[in-house]
Structure 1
Amino acid sequence: MSSLKDLAQECGVSVATVSKALNGQPDISEATRARVREAARRMGYVPNMAARSMKTNRTYNIGVLFVDEQQSGLAHEYFSAVLDSFKVRVEQLGYDITFINRNLGGRTMTYLEHCHYRGVDGAVIACVDFNDPQVIELVNSDVPVVTIDHVFNNRMAVLSDNVMGLSALVRTAYAQGHRRIAFIHGERTAVTENRLAGFYKSCDELGLEVPDAYVREGIYHDAARCAQETKALLALPQRPTCIIFPDDFSAMGGYNAIQQAGLHIPQDISVMGYDGIYLSRVMSPKLVTYQQNTMMLGRTAADKLVQMVEHPRVTLAEQLLVTGKLLDGSSVGRPPQI
């Protein structure tokens, strides 16, 4: 494996010049920088991370805390897309990632202990029980942290604009003539609270009354539970004409329950989802849904976390909202005359 000294000899410059060229220092000419980098590529030079860590006092390793209660793991399309975008960006910035957990080779440790054991420079937290004492311990520790879709006091957070998302769905249904709109939401989380706020706020602004029976608690990414809640809505004396589901995957349960009841989408009842995953584009009829900007969520979280690691004194804790967009489909139509 080539060293800095080998590169210096190849290019006829000093080791210091090679180091500056590879690290993008401004006091090196563009021609020299290009010559050094071309030689590094040709000779297969790889930076010595141990030496780099000693010089910068960083490990260039970022922790990822991701716990999916539904056990779908990285098959969870929404969060896997966010984390993939995060991974791509931190790698572009010169960092590796390590998944943080409570077990290592049969040994139990806290999330914070695992972060210290791996020596991560910072951590991103997504899809966990944010009330878990171990999560709170990590957030309040010396480890720089960015949370996704949850806000801790005076901590960096990147958030999908869930209030706007539900507002867009409600207003789209209203524009089609729907006045009886139901919402099956996920379990009680910060995301759910924001979506409920967006739902009720939009309904109030549009002058819609929302019976308590129209708002039901499902479970994110659980089609079977949402099928049960759909059946309960269909059994009401005056059923809704449009149902908003907690996510696109759960909407499949709603589709099945509606079909089993002998009803048709959207002729008898309209359906809307949330997330905008690939599945929503191949469902029949194609699902009207609100697509979250997973690429921007992951990239923003990566940029902000690396800023906290590299410039801790000048990086302020922020709550950054990322907007998505409504995806058209054929699952929403004019309400039936019932």
Structure 2
Amino acid sequence: MRYIVIGAGAIGATIGGRLAGAGREVVLVARGAHAEALRADGLRLTTADGTRVHRLPVVTGPDGLGELRPDDVLLLAVKTQDAIAALDEWGDAEVAGGGTAAQRLPVLCAQNGVESERLALRRFVRVYGVCVWLPATFLEPGVVSALCAPLTGILHLGLAAGGADARVRRIAADLEAAGFEAAVVDDVMRWKYAKLLGNLGNAVQATTGPEPAPAKAALLLRARREGEAVLRAAGIAWASAQEEAAAREGKVVPEAGSGLRGGSSWQSLQRGTGSIEADYLNGEVCLLGRLHGIPTPVNETLRHAANIFARQSLPPGAMSIEDLTSLADEAESRR
């Protein structure tokens, strides 16, 4: 199999680099300064094992590869707000022997949130969900770090529509050989909904900074309670905190001295990308709340604040947790 990593950022580059290090064939898809750096200097990936430069093929789109191969695996790792463009571009790519990627190739959705699988299922026949637990940092073109041990990350994989098959088991075996725990499950979306609840705090971290504080934990708890309420109303199951803890405990531990870095939303602001994934994290809760008559003022506040930061190119951490909490309080009082 050849892995085509669509979106070679923190998650995509880490998975792609580790697969390449384990002897698997990998192509990175990137744009702009990041693509230029990857082509000129290779991918500089730092893990608990040390720093290694991976000199891999880099393309900006399917035209850079010509006809795709029947054994290609598409790993979608762009942020969800960029997923439609990527799915349309790669879905129309022709595959040797006939047909398109959307008709013949598997696509793995390795992103936060739960929307990418639905977007992919509208276009691709073979769609797999990947629940990603992989603390990684991408702030400089061509440079990614994932400083956790003993495993680089934990991935749960399965068919987006439920179940598993031989293909995903082969992919999981490759990921296991590359330093990940890759559990094949029949209910991958249940794991992704659990991850969604944890990611509701991404907007808090992005707007007020990554430093832990009781007030930040309190606001996340309020957002999570709204999230759990709308999932219950929608009849959507999620993995319990006990299941998550059992799956992760002692397996992905940040190295001492790795430094304080924020998650994916914080990194988007730090890099000045102009967009952020809040519409598909807090916004997912708002959507379900509106569909099922459940108020979600805290998540709407977080979604709105994160988008303002992204669109106005405000630096991460520029807001106090007191001000953000006050906005959430005002929104709750108006409901």
Q: Please, what TM-score do these two structures have when normalized by structure 2?
A: 0.28
Query: Which of these two proteins has the greater Rg computed from alpha carbons?
Result: 1
The structure with higher relative contact order (CA 8 Å, sep 6+) is 1
